[in-house]
């Protein structure tokens, strides 16, 4: 990639996919299964009318659903364009719903809200925009600071697919024709990527080529891949214990053929103290993944930071 050094490319990949928020919404408008899961989790863990912290809230796919379910949601995001799109949506809502959504522009590594929550979430691969162990630890430290005693932190990230990661970076994949929702332009969407197994970062190129053959544009998306045992260890190093873990949003066990890692964590001290008080220190986490070989499949990059 001739556009700059690795650090510059990673930084571009953290931002470029979110500049056109209207196109972003169009691309992911059919993604609903995770929204239902986070709303169901809130109903299980948060009292009616309680507060939820939504990290990487983006244009509000999950934020708005939680507010409609009766919760007060504080959404935090580092992209002003995504938040602007969400503010437009919130401003069109009835006053009672509008009042349940608070938005903050902040970096997930150093945000400060001076409030605590029974549930914090980071949906749709948000943590894949934390590219190093240090960045993830910084975010988890902020989560810890903002959780109630006995609070939970829930998130999902992709399960790394080695067959997908090692695809030929010179070929195009997932070619799809679509209409731009704002301009009406007819475009072909396709992707390819380069994966660095040392940093575990995939630099994904999203191609938007006009069907008439005129020059198109390329958007970068950078994702940090987290393997299951590594992710559990990194959370543990920041004081969290994994209490639930699934391979999809229907509650299936995590296995080698899963697309996602869906995780619920608790602060280790609070979790262990609570279980000692009840005479148990067992975790409700699913068993470790089965060693099932992954099967090849077409897999378009999914956006990791906002919804």
Residues 169 and 154 in one domain: no
pLDDT tens figures, 190-205: 999 999 999 999 999 9
Specify if 302 maps to a domain. Answer: no
Tell me what the mean pLDDT of segment 260-279 comes to: 78
pLDDT at 269: 80
pLDDT at 276: 52
Specify if 211 maps to a domain. Answer: yes
What confidence tier does 293 reach under pLDDT thresholds 50, 70, 90?
Answer: very low
pTM higher than the cut 0.85: yes
Residues 64 and 133 in one domain: yes
Specify if 306 maps to a domain. Answer: no
SS3 category, 303: coil
Q: Rounded to whole angstroms, how far apart are CA atoms 229 and 288?
A: 8
Residues 108 and 70 in one domain: yes
pLDDT at 5: 82
For the chain, the first-to-last Cα distance in angstroms comes to 27
Residue 243: which of 272, 265, 217 has the closest Cα?
265
Residues 17 and 140 in one domain: yes
User: How, if at all, do strands 201-210 and 186-196 pair?
Assistant: antiparallel
Tell me what the mean pLDDT of segment 51-66 comes to: 98
Domain span at residue 38?
Answer: 11-159+225-277
Give me 49's structure tokens: 């009318």
Residues 78 and 175 in one domain: no
Check whether 301 has a pLDDT greater than 90: no
Specify if 300 maps to a domain. Answer: no
Q: Rounded to whole angstroms, how far apart are CA atoms 90 and 106?
A: 19
Residues 46 and 105 in one domain: yes
Residues 207 and 240 in one domain: no
pLDDT tens figures, 86-144: 999 999 999 999 999 999 999 999 999 999 999 999 999 999 999 999 999 999 999 99
Q: Rounded to whole angstroms, how far apart are CA atoms 8 and 15?
A: 11
Tell me what the mean pLDDT of segment 287-300 comes to: 33
Specify if 291 maps to a domain. Answer: no
pLDDT tens figures, 19-37: 999 999 999 999 999 999 9
% helix / strand / coil in the chain, to the nearest 5?
30, 30, 40
């Amino acid at each position: 990639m001739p556009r700059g050094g690795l650090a510059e490319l990673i930084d571009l990949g953290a931002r470029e996919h979110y500049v056109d928020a209207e196109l972003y919404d169009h691309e992911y408008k059919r993604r609903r299964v995770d929204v239902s899961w986070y709303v169901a989790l809130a109903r299980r863990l948060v009292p009616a009318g309680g507060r939820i912290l939504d990290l990487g809230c983006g244009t509000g796919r999950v934020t708005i659903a939680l507010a409609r379910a009766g919760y007060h949601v504080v959404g935090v995001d580092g992209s002003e364009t995504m938040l602007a799109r969400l503010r437009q949506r919130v401003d069109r809502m009835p006053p009672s719903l509008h009042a349940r959504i608070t938005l903050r522009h902040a970096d997930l590594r150093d945000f400060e809200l001076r409030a605590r929550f029974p549930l914090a979430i980071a949906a749709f691969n948000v943590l894949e925009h934390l590219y190093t162990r240090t960045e993830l630890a910084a975010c988890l430290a902020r989560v810890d600071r903002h959780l109630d005693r006995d609070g939970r932190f829930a998130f999902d990230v992709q399960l790394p697919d080695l067959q997908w990661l090692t695809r030929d970076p010179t070929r195009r994949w997932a070619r799809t024709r679509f209409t731009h929702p704002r301009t009406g332009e007819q475009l072909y969407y396709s992707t390819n990527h380069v994966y660095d197994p040392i940093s575990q970062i995939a630099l994904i190129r999203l191609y938007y080529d006009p069907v008439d053959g005129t020059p198109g544009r390329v958007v970068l998306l950078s994702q940090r891949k987290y393997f299951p045992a590594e992710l559990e260890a990194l959370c543990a190093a920041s004081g969290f214990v994994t209490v639930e873990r699934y391979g999809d949003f229907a509650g299936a066990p995590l296995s080698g053929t899963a697309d996602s890692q869906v995780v619920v964590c608790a602060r280790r001290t609070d979790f262990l103290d609570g279980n000692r008080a009840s005479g148990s220190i067992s975790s409700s986490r699913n068993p470790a993944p089965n060693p099932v070989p992954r099967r090849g499949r077409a897999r378009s990059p999914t956006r990791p930071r906002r919804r």
